């Protein structure tokens, strides 16, 4: 509880006020001098804006049953939501699109993604971190603005980690930071000042893309609450034509 409170930059006074308890009682909970009831845990979780998984974890640590359901992604009970994701990905062709869980495991991918990045489907998030963030690897040769993109991705993952307690993601962020320790973040030079756009070097082509993310804004079930749908778009006509031609092969 102390870890989650401090990660969100809250004082005991601020958190206790938001959860309808006293700083003294919260202090006793954090030090183990007081055993919180289920209702207090849920109030604290709401005040901390915890994820469904974290709520279940806290309840479990206190000896209570989970409050949020959790099903496998292929479970019939979440089939309507999976079908919605599949429809979004299908309609996004010929551009790459995929659905990932909170750690970055790819759950679904459309044809555009499979055509453009087939090796990503068989690699783990940890392997992709090693492939992309290693400054001595191939990524800096394939992404013209690699340092800018790498630092941008690290920023995004740090922000994601700040809002959850995910030990697997935390280890990956630490690995990213280690790789980028001596990589200077480029200063803005007046290029694309709208959205961070990776410049991809594919053969003799120079492609420019950007990505958006979708999620279920009011999902209470654990699996759906963690899913992120990433959709990649072209920023110019040359890149648009590249993906359209790739889809015909």
Euclidean distance between CA atoms 67 and 145, whole angstroms = 45
Let me know if residue 153 belongs to a domain: yes
Based on the fold, state whether residues 84 and 171 are members of the same structural domain: yes
pTM of the predicted model as reported, rounded to 2 decimal places: 0.86
Q: Structure tokens of 169?
A: 């993601």
pLDDT at 191 over 60: no
Based on the fold, state whether residues 36 and 92 are members of the same structural domain: no
> Looking at residue 190, what is its pLDDT?
47
Which domain does 144 fall in, by range? 76-248
Let me know if residue 68 belongs to a domain: no
> Looking at residue 28, what is its pLDDT?
94
Euclidean distance between CA atoms 216 and 169, whole angstroms = 20
Instruction: Classify strands 205-214 and 199-202 as parallel, antiparallel or unpaired.
Output: antiparallel
Diameter over CA atoms, the chain: 66
Spell out the residues 6+ positions from residue 191 whose beta carbon is closer than 8 angstroms to its own. 145
Range of lowest pLDDT (154-163, 214-223, 231-240):
154-163
22: domain CATH number? 1.10.260.40
């Amino acid at each position: 509880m102390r870890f989650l409170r401090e990660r969100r930059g809250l004082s005991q006074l601020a958190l206790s006020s938001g959860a309808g308890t006293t700083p003294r009682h919260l202090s006793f909970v954090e030090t183990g001098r007081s055993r919180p009831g289920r209702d207090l845990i849920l109030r604290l979780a709401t005040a901390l804006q915890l994820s469904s998984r974290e709520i279940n974890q806290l309840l479990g640590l206190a000896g209570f049953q989970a409050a949020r359901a959790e099903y496998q992604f292929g479970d019939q009970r979440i089939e309507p939501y999976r079908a919605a994701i599949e429809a979004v990905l299908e309609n996004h062709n010929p551009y790459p699109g995929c659905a990932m869980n909170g750690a970055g495991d790819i759950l679904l991918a459309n044809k555009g993604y499979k055509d453009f990045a087939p090796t990503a489907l068989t690699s783990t998030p940890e392997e992709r971190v090693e492939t992309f963030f290693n400054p001595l690897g191939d990524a800096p040769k394939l992404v013209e603005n690699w340092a800018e993109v790498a630092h941008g991705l690290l920023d995004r993952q740090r922000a994601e980690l700040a809002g959850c307690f995910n030990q697997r993601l935390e280890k990956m962020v630490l690995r990213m930071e280690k790789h980028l320790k001596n990589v200077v973040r480029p200063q803005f030079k007046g290029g694309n000042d709208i959205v961070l756009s990776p410049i991809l070097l594919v053969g003799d082509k120079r492609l420019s893309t950007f990505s958006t993310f979708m999620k279920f804004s009011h999902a209470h079930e654990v699996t759906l609450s963690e899913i992120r749908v990433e959709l990649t778009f072209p920023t110019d006509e040359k890149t648009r034509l590249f993906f359209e031609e790739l889809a015909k092969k």
